[in-house]
Amino acid sequence: MTTQNIDLNEYYGVQTIGITKQFDGVKALDDVSLTIPIFGITSIVGPNGSGKSTLVNLITGVLPYDEGTVVIETNAFKVIHAHETPDHGITRTFQEVRLFDQMTVWDNIMVVLTNRKLFPSMAERSKSEHHEKAEEILKQVGMWEKREAMAEDLSYGQRKLLEIGRAMALDVQVYILDEPFAGLFPQMLERVKDLLRELRDNGRTVVFISHNMDIVRELSDHIIVLESGKFLLAGEVEDILNRPEVIRAYLGT
């Protein structure tokens, strides 16, 4: 088993230890041990089907893992429940966008902001706060003008932006985005890059999956490479992108 060696003053964000996930006998992830550092932007790269989305699905409890442990901060989990993910300090987006299609853009953000309030009085008190936050987020992701549109009427790129906004509406430590740049127009792409940098600069842990190696190079502090369900290697951006194994994985030779 290959393990990763990151020296970040013993601070760790999210760690997997020997996690394995099979689908119908096929190992989507095979004994994967890796660390997502708490600081900076980490990209997860690898060819199609290498297990990137599965990794995120396991960490966020969308799918159960067969074996192994996930460590979030100092807590080790044998089982993770999706609804507890925000309590673990993690929010995410999906490669295939998940929205409330029958709700407006505005309401899609508001449900995230309000659904964890336990007491009506608290909800009432913070109502104007929620409105301000929703406005801020919609402006950040460039969806303010579209706030009254139904989610189902949005374009592909707009749906992605709204989902990113929904993830950002939670005030947590770790933001994981599964292919946030796929299908975005250049202007929106720049906007999302800025959002990720801003989260990073505010001390948040940012993780993204992407096939766009220009963006990976530009944005990442750390890179984790998966290949055929296995951890291949990880480290600092320039180091990793110049490795022959990485070039081989991408060129398929």
Closer residue to ligand ADP (CB): 108 or 210: 210
The contacts of residue 83 (CB under 8 Å, 6+ apart) are: 61
Name the one range near ligand ADP by CB under 6 A: 8-16, 45-53, 155-163, 196-204.
45-53
Within positions 47 to 106, which residues make up the interface with ligand ADP, using CB under 6 A?
48-54
- Residue 28 binding result from Mg ion, ligand ADP, none, given CB thresholds of 5 to 8 Å by partner type: ligand ADP
Instruction: Give CA 217 to chain center in angstroms.
Output: 17
Neighbours of 102 (CB within 10 A): 9
Kind plus residue range of the DSSP H or E element containing 208: strand 205-209
Closer residue to ligand ADP (CB): 28 or 113: 28
Helix (H, G, I), strand (E, B) or coil at 90: strand
Name the one range near ligand ADP by CB under 6 A: 44-52, 75-83, 152-160, 234-242.
44-52
How many residues touch ligand ADP under the rule CB under 6 A: the total is 10
Half-sphere exposure for 88 (CA within 13 Å, toward CB):
27
Q: Is 128 in the site for ligand ADP (CB under 6 A)?
A: no
Please report how close the Cβ of residue 49 comes to ligand ADP at its closest, in angstroms.
4
- Cα-based angle 126, 131, 135 (whole degrees, multiple of 5): 145
Binding site for ligand ADP (CB under 6 A): 23, 28, 46, 48-54
